[in-house]
Chains A and B, each alone.
Chain A
């Protein structure tokens, strides 16, 4: 407002009385215009800085509001990936609910996003694309847990049948199921549980007395 006023005043015709009796009027007008211009500029800067500060505060508020939701979820996802890399997801899978007495304690969790969904914060804070991605993670987690359960059941069934056929007994019920993680990690991945030893005449036969087939077989029997 003051800026506009000063601009209109500056554009108004001014009679300059050089050498006249009213020279001081010209001086007053000039000084007044300068003062008004300075004042208008200062007011404009003031309001501009207020607007900028408001925008900065709004940005910080928005970022903090999002960070309160996004940061813990991100940390949980990073921890989940670390748990997968360290094979801590092969025992009971990925937990979907918090519990104080769960075991083992180092199994990865995926609980935070569901809690945000349940208490209503998910829809008001997370963007549609984030909600979609996290929904996909939950679906993949459920699919993994189901696949893990199915694999454990198959391993238990086959393990029990092998034990029964071999005539040996396990140390405790469910031992083979509990050994699933070891079997899967070290057996399936390293392809050793179902390893077929080369025939004695094979050129690839391992002749080492430490790792040859008969010695390994006896050791595994005594271990079970």
Chain B
């Protein structure tokens, strides 16, 4: 058993932090994709070609 395994509080905190970090990055990626899709929908609706 390493010190890391023995100290559950540290391990739990670091695990939760890593999970929250992944969730945040994933949410940012999804939001960027949705913003891009929204702009594309507008252009498609109006059959707009960039100048």
Contact = CB atoms under 8 A, between A and B. Distances in A.
A218 B25 CA distance: 38
A60 B42 CA distance: 10
B39 A147 contact: no
Interface string A159-172: 00000000000000
Interface residues of B, number: 35
A94 interface: yes
A133 B39 contact: no
A151 B16 contact: yes
Interface string A161-196: 000000000000000000000001000100101111
Contacts of A195: 2
B38 A81 contact: no
Interface string A65-92: 0110010011001101100100001000
Contacts of A184: 14, 17
A194 B4 contact: yes
Contact of A133 (B2, B20, B24, B27): B27
13 contacts: A56-B46, A74-B36, A78-B32, A133-B31, A136-B30, A141-B24, A141-B27, A143-B23, A144-B21, A147-B20, A154-B9, A191-B4, A194-B3
B24 A60 contact: no
A166 B4 CA distance: 18
Given A129-B34, A158-B9, 20 more contacts: A59-B42, A59-B45, A63-B39, A66-B38, A77-B35, A81-B28, A81-B29, A129-B37, A133-B27, A134-B31, A136-B27, A137-B24, A137-B27, A143-B24, A144-B23, A150-B13, A150-B17, A151-B16, A193-B4, A196-B3
B35 A59 contact: no
Contact of B39 (A67, A188, A193): A67
Q: Is the interface of A mostly helix, strand, loop or mixed?
A: helix
B13 to A, nearest CB: 4
A117 interface: no
A147 B32 contact: no
A116 to B, nearest CB: 13
A115 interface: no
A194 B28 contact: no
A62 interface: yes
A74 B17 contact: no
A158 B39 contact: no
A155 B50 CA distance: 52
